[in-house]
Amino acid sequence: MSKIYIDPGHNASGGDTGAVGFGLKEQDITVQIGVILRDLLVRNGQTVKMSREKITDTVSESLSGSLASRYNSANSWNADLFVSIHCNSANTKAYGCETYYYAGSVNGERLAKAVQKHLAEDTGRTDRGVKTANFAVIKHANMPAILVETAFIDNYDDNKFLASESGRKSVATAIYKGICDYLGIKYNLAEGDDELLSKEYDELKIKNDAQDAIINVMGDEIGQNANDIRKINIRLRRYDYIDSNMPEWAVPTITKLVTKGYLKGDSEGKLGLTEDLMRLYVVNDRAGAYGE
C-alpha cells in the first residue's frame, strides 16, 4: 500500500485561481479529475490525501501560500508520491498533454514517463512529452513528484475534451494506470470503467474518419484545379519564335507563314502565338489555304 498525495491545481478564489477557457475553469476541472483518480486509487488499496476535494475549496488566498501549503502537506504526511493536476493555457493554438518532473529526480522522471505514456495513448491528446521544470510544488516535494498538464483549456478541441465527462475520466484513468505501472501493481478497473473511454475513442475515430474524407475530397479538388490551371496556362502560353519551345507539329506551318510573309510579328519580331491560334493555322494549312 502506498500513500499518494493528489493535488488538484489552483483554488476557487484568491491569487491562484488558474486559467479559464470558453467559460471552463481550470480549478474546477482539476478537482473533478482528481476525485475520479482518488476513487480509482482507493479502490486499488492505496491511501490517498488531496489538497482540494471540492471545486469550492481554496487552499490559501495567496499564491505563495497556496503553493507552499500543498508541498508542505504532502511532506508532513510522508507521502510516497505527489501528483499535481493542471490544465494548460497558451495562445489558443497550442494543444496536447505533457508531464513535468523536477530535474535530477530519477524516480520523478520514471513516474512522469509512466503517466505520460498512458495520458497520450488513452486520451487521444497530442503527446507533448515529458519535461523538467522548477514548479514549486514538485521542486519542494520530498517524494517523487510530477505535474500533469492534461490539455489546453484555451484550445477549442482540447477544451471540449476537458468539458466532457468521458474526457475527464480518461485523464484520471490514464494517470491511475501510470501510477500503477510505476508502483508495479495491477490495474483494478471495474466493469464499465472503460465504457466512456470506448465511447470517446469511437467519437474520435468517427471525427477523424470524417476529417480524412474531407481532406481526400479537398485533395482531389486541388489536384483537379491544378490540372485545369496547367491546361489553361498551356493554352495561354505565347510562342514568339520558331524554336525548340514551339510544338513540333506547328513548326512547318508557322515557318511557311513567316516565309510567305503572312506572319511578321511585332516590332521586336515576336509572333505572340497561342496554341489555339497555331492549331487554327495548321488546320487551314492542311486544307490548302496557304498554298504549297
Taking the C-alpha atoms of 201, 121, 46 and 51 in order, what is their torsion angle to the nearest 10 degrees? -90
Q: Is the pLDDT of residue 184 over 90?
A: yes
CA 22 → CA 13, 186, 207, distances in Å?
Answer: 19, 38, 21
Cα 8 from Cα 86, distance rounded (Å) = 7
Three-state DSSP class for residue 61: coil
**Amino acid symbol at 257:** L
Q: Is the pLDDT of residue 291 over 60?
A: yes
Residue 32 CB coordination number (10 Å): 18
Residue 247 CB coordination number (10 Å): 13
Cα 230 from Cα 64, distance rounded (Å) = 64
Which tens digit of pLDDT belongs to each residue from 13-25? Answer: 999 999 999 999 9
pLDDT at res. 208: 58
- 148: nearest Cα among 276, 272, 30: 30
Which tens digit of pLDDT belongs to each residue from 37-56? Answer: 999 999 999 999 999 999 99
Range with lowest mean pLDDT among 56-60, 111-115, 254-258: 254-258
Which tens digit of pLDDT belongs to each residue from 101-158? Answer: 999 999 999 999 999 999 999 999 999 999 999 999 999 999 999 999 999 999 999 9
Which tens digit of pLDDT belongs to each residue from 214-236? Answer: 666 666 776 777 777 777 776 67
Contact 59, 11 (CB under 8 A): yes
Range with lowest mean pLDDT among 142-146, 189-193, 268-272: 189-193
Q: Is 110 exposed, middle or buried (0-12, 13-18, 19+ CB in 10 A)?
A: middle
Cα 182 from Cα 275, distance rounded (Å) = 72
Which tens digit of pLDDT belongs to each residue from 69-100? Answer: 999 999 999 999 999 999 999 999 999 999 99
* Domains of the chain and any CATH numbers: 3-193 (3.40.630.40), 237-286 (no CATH)
Cα 158 from Cα 51, distance rounded (Å) = 25
Q: β-strands 24-25, 20-21: how paired?
A: antiparallel
pLDDT at res. 196: 47
pLDDT at res. 215: 61
> Percent of the chain at pLDDT above 90?
65
Would you say the pTM of this structure is higher than 0.85? no
Contact 175, 127 (CB under 8 A): no
Q: At what angle do helices 195-236 and 275-286 cross, to 10 degrees?
A: 50
Three-state DSSP class for residue 213: helix
Cα 226 from Cα 215, distance rounded (Å) = 16
